[in-house]
Amino acid sequence: MGNSLKAIVAFVPSNKCQKYLLEDLEEMPVDKMVDLSGRQLRRLPLHICSFRELVKLYLSDNNLNHLPPELEQLQNLQILALDFNNFKALPLVVCTLKQLCILYLGNNKLCSLPLELRLLQNLKTLWIESNCLQYLPEVVCELSLLKTLHAGSNALHTLPLQLQCLQELRTIWLSGNLLSDFPPVLLNMPFLEVIDVDRNSIRFFPSLAHLPGLKLVIYDHNPCRNAPKVAKGVRRVGRWSEETPEPRKRSGAVIDITLDEKPLLPPAAKTKPE
């Protein structure tokens, strides 16, 4: 189906058009996954909310700016992809999906996150990259099981001290922000394995040699006067190191990873159209 036809079908709210667009998706797939990425949808078809055993729902690369309250019926949902849409605020119904483990919110227009996000206590992976965040919402620091946080390409100047409460956090991506200093809170997070502060404005790096869990630090494209000191065996990517960054490219709307998988490098932003 051509892009122009998709746009027309998604815009016209007739049941026949939506049925044609969704290719007769009337029953929940056997694999408990629905992928509606890149369909130029302006609204979520309500019958999807009747698939109560659904585990994965991919809605990336559409024209969504709201979600229906009926989404709350998907209480078995573990992966939800809302990246590359038009959300200016996170729909509160998302915060009712308490089994969510992975939530993709990147490439929207979010300036904040609701306090209700704290209800997602099973969340392990949160991607909020390429939004309009000028600060990291403190509610993120209440997600006690969080392992991976991707907050790159925002307008962050600093990080809250409460971040050190996330003792399960292993990977934090902060590339493309407005950090002028290395965030002090990261120095108090000994379990971190990956720190990415590429493309910021950091002029001096403190020693990271005391972080026993650290495996990789990416600090390239900063106006720094020194390289961060690290313990033996820790890989550095940046000036005065022998490494060069080799980011893994992202194919498709969303990486389909297992619930415990942690990507070593954040996938590059996808290009449109697919």
Q: Mean pLDDT, consecutive 10-residue segments, the chain of 274 residues?
A: 44 45 70 96 96 98 98 98 98 99 99 98 99 98 99 98 98 98 98 98 97 97 95 92 46 38 42 30
Report the distance separating Cα 96 and Cα 146, nearest Å: 17
Q: pLDDT for 224-244, tens place per residue?
A: 999 999 999 999 999 877 644
Tell me whether domains 26-115 and 133-243 share a fold: yes
Q: What is the pLDDT of residue 28?
A: 79
Q: What is the pLDDT of residue 112?
A: 98
Contact call for residues 80 and 57 (beta carbons, < 8 A) = yes
CA 58, distance to chain mean position in Å, is 13
Sign of torsion, CA 69 32 78 89? negative
CATH superfamily of 26-115: Ribonuclease Inhibitor (3.80.10.10)
- Domain map of the chain by residue range? 26-115, 133-243
CA 223, distance to chain mean position in Å, is 27
Q: Which fold has domain 133-243?
A: 3.80.10
Q: Is 99 exposed, middle or buried (0-12, 13-18, 19+ CB in 10 A)?
A: middle
Contact call for residues 152 and 196 (beta carbons, < 8 A) = yes
Side-by-side strand order, sheet with 194-196 = 33-35, 56-58, 79-81, 102-104, 125-127, 148-150, 171-173, 194-196, 216-218, 235-237
